[in-house]
Structure formats: C-alpha cells, structure tokens
Chains A and B, each alone.
Chain A
Amino acid sequence: AQSVTQPDIHITVSEGASLELRCNYSYGATPYLFWYVQSPGQGLQLLLKYFSGDTLVQGIKGFEAEFKRSQSSFNLRKPSVHWSDAAEYFCAVALPGSSNTGKLIFGQGTTLQVKP
C-alpha cells in the first residue's frame, strides 16, 4: 500500500546530543519529500525539501536530511539538539503527476522531547 511511515512515535534526546528522525515512503515513483516542524499549538513550518539532485539537503535551524532511494528513506538529522527543538516533526510527500497536485501526504509524526 502507498504510505509515508515515521517509525518512531516519540523520541527523547539530551540537549547537545545528535538527532535522527526516520521517514520511509512506499510509492511506485519517487515522490517529492518534505519535513515540517510543528511547535505546540502552532502551524507547520517547512524545515527542508527534496525534489531531485544532491541527496543531502540542508534546511533551516541546522537540520539536514538525506534521501536514500535504495532504502526509500528521507531521514532528518541534526548534529546537536537545542531545547527549543522540542516539537512534533512531520515527514510529508507530494506525488508527481497532474492528478496529484495540491496534495501533501503526511506521516503520523514524531514527537521530540529534549532533556536538559
């Protein structure tokens, strides 16, 4: 079945530690890939996106993500987490093709907790 999967519902890391949030997709064609962050009670902010080209993508707030076609993955990373990174993180895909325009398909989200 076509899907976007974020295997980790909840992750806790210590401040200053590195972070990796996983995202896997299952579609016939490689979709366009996005990571959004949502602070409590707020809207979603785009961290980064991947359409094509260099498979390592740099985003805002020190985040990066790596697209791995062989693993159908687009994992989000940050070398050193700050307390302000505590939030909900959503991986999302958009499917190529005119019949799919306007639709973002979201994973279930990963809640990041940061310990002092």
Chain B
Amino acid sequence: DTEVTQTPKHLVMGMTNKKSLKCEQHMGHRAMYWYKQKAKKPPELMFVYSYEKLSINESVPSRFSPECPNSSLLNLHLHALQPEDSALYLCASSQGYGSTDTQYFGPGTRLTVL
C-alpha cells in the first residue's frame, strides 16, 4: 500500500480563522513533507520532518505551523492566512530521508482563503 491520505479535500477559511490540515501514512515511512502548489506551477517544498523532527523549514511564514505527533501523522496548522496563501497543499512521505528515497504524494487539500 503506497497511500498517503489528506483531509480535508477542500477548505475555505477567512483570514482570522484557525484551521488544520491533516496527513496520514501507514507505510512505515520516516520522512514526511509539506508542499504548496499554486495553479499551473510545480510544488514548492515547505517543511520536511525526519523521524518526527523538523529537518527543513524553507523560510515559511510563521502563520504556517507544522506538527508531527507521531511517525504516521503530519499536521499543518493555519492561522491568520492571506488570500495569496490559497493553493493546493500536498503532503508526501518517503521511507528515509535520502536523495534516493522516493516521495509518495497524497491527493492534496485545496485551500481557499477569503
């Protein structure tokens, strides 16, 4: 099973709201990733967790707050977002954290910020 699940599929929120995105995998992978993808653009890496510790933060604004409660779960907490944060947010996971570890992607959460 190479499935990464993400909830919700769609999310609409106001600029003052607090919401969370959830990602789950049961493949025993030890690295998990958050990407942001704007329309007609490639995914942009936001965060990487390796063995439940934050390994990479690509200078993401603090209104995005990642959390890795355990090796299967990855959350992205959202607060005080801007309309330009509207995008498809993709989660991925990989067996390890090396360059040859294939990343498997979830279907994404389509976020709209009003």
Contacts and interface: CB of A to CB of B under 8 A. Distances in A.
Interface of A: 31-32, 34, 36, 41-46, 49, 51, 90, 94-97, 100-104, 106-109, 111
B48 interface: yes
Interface of B: 4, 6, 31, 33, 40-43, 45, 48, 50, 55-56, 88, 90, 92, 97-100, 102-108, 110
Contacts of B103: 46, 104
Contact of B50 (A36, A41, A102): A102
Nearest to A41: B110
B45 A103 contact: yes
Nearest to B48: A102
B45 A101 contact: no
A102 B42 contact: no
Given A102-B55, A109-B40, A111-B40, 6 more contacts: A44-B92, A94-B100, A102-B50, A104-B45, A107-B42, A109-B41
A31 B100 CA distance: 10
A96 B100 CA distance: 8
A100 B56 CA distance: 10
B6 to A, nearest CB: 8
